[in-house]
Structure 1
Amino acid sequence: MIGIARSLASLLLAAGLLVLGTWSAQAETEVDLALVLAVDVSLSMEPDEQELQRQGFVEAFRSPEVHEAIRKGMLGRIAVTYVEWAGAGYQQVVVPWTVIEQPSDSRGFAARLAESSIQRFGYTSISGAIDFSLAQLRQSDVTPARQVIDVSGDGANNQGRIVTAARDEAVAEGVTINGLPLMLKRPDGMWDIDNLDLYFRDCVIGGPGAFIIPVREKAQFAQAIRTKVIREIADRPQVRSLVQPAQGEERANCLAGELRRRQRSGN
């Protein structure tokens, strides 16, 4: 009888430890935010601009403001990965998924990013960047309260599938896409379009609380990136005015990049 009681106690203890271990494993993977930083490295960006962009993200994850934003979350931790992209055939994970809970985790992420070289490739496939980023979210091995793709770029989609199709698929899965349109040069090249900020607003971003922060000067890079990352982590929606314009706003052509490519090819 005593032996049976001991065996039963051992089984209950083992079951309890199994349940506790399973709960702990689940708790470890839960995060406030899963964030994909999808960064443009197409040839239309000058090397110094790409370096400023990279350094802006490095400085953001070193900053106490970002550490504080993470700490104030419901769980106090996020998961982030850094991806570079160009044409439809080039998307690359530079820093894999990293769970950030302590400032040391954030500084470690920044250090790995700072140590990585920057590649450059032709064409611009924002749709390819969104599709690749969505795949990373599906494979993240974390349970996020929110999912965000942060797309930075200096041009319109000119390769791969239509950008709005990629955006709509991601948004349908509950993902928010935010934008950092880089408007450092006058749009005077064959691939350039006017009003890139409107293009990002109408054709790229989407989902709950989606927003853009345009960068028009090199000196704005670091502050714009830090502000954007903090806003994404803190999930602070922008307050919209209750007074809306009577006339409809100008809308962007979401095929602008494809039209530029067609004009260049002569077709």
Structure 2
Amino acid sequence: MIRALACLLIWSGAAHAACRQALALGLDMSTSVDTVEYRLQLEGLASALQSDAVQEVLFAQPDASIRIAVYEWSGPPNQTLVLPWTELRTPADLADAVRTIRGHKRITAAPTTAIGAALLYGFALLDAQPDCWKRTLDLSGDGETNTGPRPEDISSDRTPPGVSVNGLVIGSGNARGDDHRFADIKALSAYYRSNVVRGPGAFVEVALGFEDYAAAMERKLLRELASIAIGQLGDSANSR
């Protein structure tokens, strides 16, 4: 079924600009994420994409665009495409993408957290973008996997070649106090580093809570998008 999804999402149509990066973003919609926190994720992603710093990187190379896709996940069979592959060549393209993200309505979420299944869904999306210079999967989450295939059991031969997986760990908003929150973040970050992130330059970003999600997402986007933009611009300058 995952391979069938990849086939359905293959980039088609007339000739288009080179793709310098394909970025798939998976958002946690399990029942540990309440309605307010869910909206903070969507709004946070939209705000981060529209920040001046991120837009500067997005549109740094008009002849080599960035493509993004967004999905939400919870239990093993519960992944929903929020934004299909969209090429961001102009501010108008970005505005349309942000409008789609903000307008998405949450479906009923499973009460479980299946990070392994979310990984495989993201890999299927990225399989459909083989022509991009760099391919990246981002998973946001506020807990460890508790059902489905464990991320550490997903072997390297099931990861598309060259794909990096980054994580955005979200601190719990419980009322146990900051000491407990920081301990939870530390433990979850360690879990993501050991079991989830993988590939060239993979890293974990941290949001202290859902209220910090937009700022953390902006930091993460700048870190992963700027590297390819700067590197390619430098190669172009050196070749002249």
- TM-score w.r.t. length of structure 2: 0.79
Match of 1:66 among 41, 44, 54: 54
Residue deviations 1:88-142 (CA, integer Å, cap 9, x gap): 01111111000001111111100111111123222111110110111111124x6
1:219 aligned onto 2:211 = yes
Q: What is the alpha-carbon distance in structure 1 between the residues aligned to residue 59 and residue 128 of structure 2? A: 25
Q: What is the alpha-carbon distance in structure 2 between the residues aligned to residue 167 and residue 85 of structure 1? A: 21
Match of 2:122 among 108, 133, 140: 133
Identity in percent: 29
The residue that corresponds to 1:122 in the other structure is 111
Q: What is the alpha-carbon distance in structure 1 between the residues aligned to residue 220 and residue 58 of structure 2? A: 13
In structure 2, stretches of 5+ residues that fail to align are 1-12, 229-240
| 8 Å Cα contact 1:32-1:74 kept in structure 2 | no
Q: Which amino acid aligns with 1:100?
A: L
1:108 aligned onto 2:96 = yes
Report the count of equivalent residues.
Answer: 208
Aligned pair in 2 of structure 1 residues 230, 160: CA closer, same or farther (>3 Å)? same
| 8 Å Cα contact 2:167-2:197 kept in structure 1 | yes
1:197 aligned onto 2:189 = yes
**Structure 1 counterpart SS, 2:207:** coil
| 8 Å Cα contact 1:147-1:174 kept in structure 2 | yes
Measured after TM superposition, the shift of residue 62 of structure 1 is: 2.0
Q: Which amino acid aligns with 2:89?
A: E
Q: What is the alpha-carbon distance in structure 1 between the residues aligned to residue 198 and residue 42 of structure 2? A: 24
Q: What is the alpha-carbon distance in structure 2 between the residues aligned to residue 218 and residue 38 of structure 1? A: 15
Measured after TM superposition, the shift of residue 81 of structure 1 is: 0.4
**Aligned positions of 1:71-110 closer than 5 A:** 71-73=59-61, 75-110=63-98
**Structure 2 counterpart SS, 1:79:** strand
RMSD of aligned residue pairs (Cα, Å): 2.4
**Structure 2 counterpart SS, 1:135:** helix
The residue that corresponds to 2:235 in the other structure is none
Q: What is the alpha-carbon distance in structure 1 between the residues aligned to residue 186 and residue 219 of structure 2? A: 25
The answer to which of 97-106 and 163-172 deviates more is: 163-172
1:44 aligned onto 2:69 = no
Q: Which amino acid aligns with 1:232?
A: E
In structure 1, stretches of 5+ residues that fail to align are 1-23, 237-267
Q: What is the alpha-carbon distance in structure 2 between the residues aligned to residue 226 and residue 81 of structure 1? A: 16
Match of 1:208 among 196, 200, 212: 200
Q: What is the alpha-carbon distance in structure 1 between the residues aligned to residue 58 and residue 158 of structure 2? A: 24
Q: What is the alpha-carbon distance in structure 2 between the residues aligned to residue 112 and residue 53 of structure 1? A: 14
Q: Which amino acid aligns with 1:138?
A: D
- Ranked by relative contact order (alpha carbons within 8 Å, sequence separation 6 or more), the top structure is 2
Residue deviations 1:68-101 (CA, integer Å, cap 9, x gap): 1112248441110001000101111111000001
| 8 Å Cα contact 2:123-2:159 kept in structure 1 | no
| 8 Å Cα contact 2:71-2:79 kept in structure 1 | yes
Q: What is the alpha-carbon distance in structure 1 between the residues aligned to residue 214 and residue 142 of structure 2? A: 16
The residue that corresponds to 1:158 in the other structure is 146
Match of 2:223 among 222, 231, 239: 231
**Structure 1 counterpart SS, 2:139:** strand
Measured after TM superposition, the shift of residue 29 of structure 1 is: 5.3
Q: Which amino acid aligns with 2:202?
A: A
| 8 Å Cα contact 1:167-1:204 kept in structure 2 | no
| 8 Å Cα contact 2:73-2:118 kept in structure 1 | yes
Q: What is the alpha-carbon distance in structure 2 between the residues aligned to residue 72 and residue 44 of structure 1? A: 38
Q: What is the alpha-carbon distance in structure 1 between the residues aligned to residue 95 and residue 128 of structure 2? A: 24
| 8 Å Cα contact 1:58-1:110 kept in structure 2 | yes
**Structure 1 counterpart SS, 2:206:** coil
Q: What is the alpha-carbon distance in structure 1 between the residues aligned to residue 25 and residue 63 of structure 2? A: 21
- TM-score w.r.t. length of structure 1: 0.71
Q: What is the alpha-carbon distance in structure 2 between the residues aligned to residue 193 and residue 33 of structure 1? A: 29
Q: What is the alpha-carbon distance in structure 2 between the residues aligned to residue 212 and residue 138 of structure 1? A: 23
